[in-house]
Amino acid sequence: MNVKFLNPFIDAVFEVLNAETSLQVERGTLALENDPFVTPDVTVVISLVGQVDGSVFYGMSYEMALGLVSRMMGEAYTEFDSLAQSGIAELGNVITGRASIKLAETGFEATISPPTLIEGADAVISTLDRPRLVVPLRSELGGMAIHLALRERLDVVRSAAELKTPAAPALS
């Protein structure tokens, strides 16, 4: 994975969590994993397609998810109901959207998918041949981890470069 993809996600998660929840987070030690991803209690999955291609997983415990939703909504949530699920999925969507804007600013265009929420621990998700860069985060509400299984698509980069090349003048 291109390390240029890391900082846009780290910056986006810090910005969005602070803006939406007033939560201060600390980044733990990065890790590279090749094994299939095993979900924690709550996982938001978002795909990127374009010059950056792959998946992003935001994994956390129920306690962390409920704490985030409680802060976003300004009231205590004790059940991970449909509104809480929607709030966590949208939080992942906003973070990834912000990261995709930051990626574009560095020359890597990508479109994001709508979020998918997986509830329940121990589901196995294979990223096939893509290793995942794991970014653990800690806060007063608990921890969460961002798993980045991304790669640069050289065929898309070339195509984008070709589109920017002026066409040859037509012969009369």
Write the pLDDT tens digit of every residue in 60-71: 999 999 999 999
Q: Is residue 94 in a domain?
A: yes
Q: Is residue 123 in a domain?
A: yes
Q: Is residue 171 in a domain?
A: no
Q: Is residue 58 in a domain?
A: yes
For 95-152, the pLDDT digits (tens) are: 999 999 999 999 999 999 999 999 999 999 998 888 999 999 999 999 999 999 999 9
Give the chain's domain count: 1
54 lies in which domain range? 3-154
If you write DSSP's letter for every residue of 114-135 in order, what string do you get? Answer: PPEEEESTT-EE--TT--EEEE
**CATH code (residue 21):** 3.40.1550.10
CA distances (Å), 54 to each of 8, 58, 61, in order?
Answer: 15, 14, 24
The residue with tokens 């949208």 is 90
Asked if residue 56 lies in contact with residue 148, where contact means CB atoms within 8 angstroms, the answer is yes
Rg over alpha carbons for the chain, rounded to the nearest Å, is 18
pTM of structure: 0.87
Q: Is residue 136 in a domain?
A: yes
Q: Is residue 133 in a domain?
A: yes
Q: Is residue 165 in a domain?
A: no
